[in-house]
């Protein structure tokens, strides 16, 4: 059994132990409290129960989030008996709904995240911060679905699955419009600018049309900004002032404490790679939107970016633990001995036979740096980058990069290097990463 499988099994055990706990936590707040009954009201709005909150009385800003409301309504109908439901059954339905979505989030992280054993407990801890104040411990039917689609979109982007990412963004908009923010990540790819604009344009136009269609279906007319129709919603500048006040306050409602502190921490961490820049852009755009439209003491609004923040923190800590060589402190000139050393280290991190030595994220960071400094003209350096992509599971990029390495080797007449990269290309096309032999350790072909 490989270390990767052992890690995923350990993460699965942790996930299975945490989901029942979240079921109990959710069940405890299902009926609301003395301050507000909006949690059960929203959850039952689209059900067919005899005694339920009238959908028409929902705040206008909530109505277009039809995906979660519809699923919650059907779940309550399943738990009811002849259109009536007991308090216990309602709590069980609410707990099952939230625990079910959390289970899907954990499965996604186990399958796609690099370090699920770290990320899953961190996500759970961050979610528990939503109970920071009993007066605003509300949970709505779209909170966890929004977290699921937001995270899935970012994970697909990291792996270069742009078509699937586009589909997730469009589907996620049915649950909550903020999923559209992840479309900004299309600008942080290795695609040409024309293709970046096409992907972003399709995502933007698709989300815009979905928003118009839903608003017409639930409101009876086309409306772009549904929050503007809510008479109970304060002026945006009033919301801005209130939220900024909370940022600089010494209270449990300070958003610096949100998501177990990871929200503030991620904003302070350095941006070392293209992925880091993309994630920070997406999180920054999300926070700007919440600054004008959200309620900062209500920590549940930040859960949407919690797994993405945890993944960012995990990569950073992993780089710290492996004695990261900082690319921004390497010479900016084309120093061949320096590049050779960095390239060798990146190759080692990507292909070592010992799993404890491999670090795909750091290998990509180093290999991208030397390739950028040499303008992607050196076959041996580009070949290392392809191996790093393969180690990180980004096989689409590994294949295209390995093909480029073959083209460069052929153009420069490096027959041995061409043959070697062709062998690696076949390996990547089979979705397999290259591993050096334990003894003796073979080295990548040189010029």
For 227-267, how does the pLDDT look when each residue is reduced to its tens digit (9 = 90+)?
A: 554 545 556 677 778 777 877 877 766 777 777 788 888 88
Using CA atoms, how far apart are residues 57 and 77, in angstroms rounded to an integer?
20
Q: Residues 30-56: pLDDT tens digits? A: 887 655 677 888 888 888 876 666 666
pLDDT computed for residue 225 by the predictor? 60
Q: Does residue 447 register a pLDDT over 60?
A: no
The answer, yes or no, to whether residue 411 has pLDDT greater than 60, is yes
Among 264, 261, 296, residue whose Cα is nearest residue 283: 264
pLDDT score of 412 more than 90: no
Look-up: residue for tokens 């979610």? 127
What is the spatial distance between Cα 403 and Cα 399, in angstroms, rounded to a whole number? 6
> Are 190 and 371 contacting, i.e. CB atoms less than 8 angstroms apart?
no
Note the helical H segments in 190-330.
193-219, 236-247, 262-268, 274-293, 306-321
10 contacts 117 by C-beta, under 8 angstroms:
yes
- Confidence at residue 149, expressed as pLDDT on a 0 to 100 scale: 97
**pLDDT score of 292:** 83
Q: Read off the pLDDT of residues 101-156 as tens digits, 9 standing for 90 and up.
A: 999 999 999 999 888 999 999 999 989 887 765 445 688 899 999 999 999 999 99
CATH number for the domain running over 327-429 = 1.25.40.10
Could you tell me which of 140, 139, 216, 146 has the C-alpha nearest to residue 175? 146
CB atoms within 10 A of CB 129: 20
Question: For all residues of the chain together, what is the average pLDDT?
Answer: 83
What are the structural domain ranges in the chain? 3-318, 327-429
The confidence score (pLDDT) of residue 132 equals 64
Residue 175 has pLDDT above 90, yes or no: yes
pLDDT category, 323, cuts 50, 70, 90?
low
pTM of the entire structure?
0.73
pLDDT at residue 333, as a whole number: 40
């Amino acid at each position: 059994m490989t270390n990767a499988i052992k890690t995923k099994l350990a993460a699965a055990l942790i996930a299975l132990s945490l989901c029942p706990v979240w079921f109990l936590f959710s069940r405890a707040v299902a009926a609301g409290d003395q301050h507000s009954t909006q949690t059960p009201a929203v959850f039952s709005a689209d059900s067919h129960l005899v005694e339920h909150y009238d959908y028409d009385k929902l705040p206008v800003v909530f109505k277009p989030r039809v995906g979660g409301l519809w699923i919650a309504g059907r779940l309550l109908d399943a738990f009811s008996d002849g259109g009536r439901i007991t308090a216990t059954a309602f709590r069980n339905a609410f707990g099952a709904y939230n625990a079910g979505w959390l289970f899907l989030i954990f499965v996604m992280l186990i399958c796609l995240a690099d370090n699920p054993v770290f990320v899953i407990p961190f996500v759970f801890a961050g979610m528990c911060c939503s109970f920071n104040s009993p007066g605003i411990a509300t949970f709505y039917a779209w909170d966890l679905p929004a977290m699921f689609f937001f995270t899935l979109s970012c994970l697909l982007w990291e792996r270069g699955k742009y078509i699937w990412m586009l589909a997730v963004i469009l589907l996620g908009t049915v649950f909550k419009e903020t999923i559209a923010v992840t479309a900004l990540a299309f600008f942080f790819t290795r695609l040409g600018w024309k293709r970046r604009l096409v992907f972003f344009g399709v995502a933007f136009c698709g989300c815009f049309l979905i928003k118009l269609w839903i608003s017409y279906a639930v409101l009876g007319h086309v409306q772009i900004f549904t929050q503007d129709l809510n008479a109970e919603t304060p002026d945006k500048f009033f919301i801005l002032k209130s939220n900024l006040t909370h940022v600089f306050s010494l209270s449990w409602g300070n958003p610096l404490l949100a998501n177990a502190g990871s929200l503030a921490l991620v904003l302070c961490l350095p941006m070392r790679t293209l992925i880091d820049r993309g994630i920070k852009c997406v999180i920054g755009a999300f926070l700007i939107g919440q600054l004008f439209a959200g309620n900062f003491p209500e920590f549940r609004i930040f859960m949407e970016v919690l797994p993405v923040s945890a993944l960012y923190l995990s990569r950073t800590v992993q780089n710290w633990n492996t004695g990261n060589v900082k690319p921004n402190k390497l010479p900016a000139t084309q120093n061949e001995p320096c590049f050779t050393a960095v390239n060798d280290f990146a190759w080692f991190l990507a292909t070592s036979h010992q799993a404890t030595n491999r670090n795909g994220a750091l290998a990509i960071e180093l290999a991208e740096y030397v390739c950028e400094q040499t303008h992607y003209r050196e076959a041996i350096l580009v070949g290392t980058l392809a191996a790093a992509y393969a180690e990180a599971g980004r096989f689409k990029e590994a294949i295209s990069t390995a093909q480029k390495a073959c083209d460069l080797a052929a153009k420069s007449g490096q027959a041995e290097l061409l043959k070697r990269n062709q062998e690696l290309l076949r390996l990547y096309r089979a979705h397999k990463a290259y591993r050096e032999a334990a003894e003796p350790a073979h080295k990548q072909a040189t010029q």
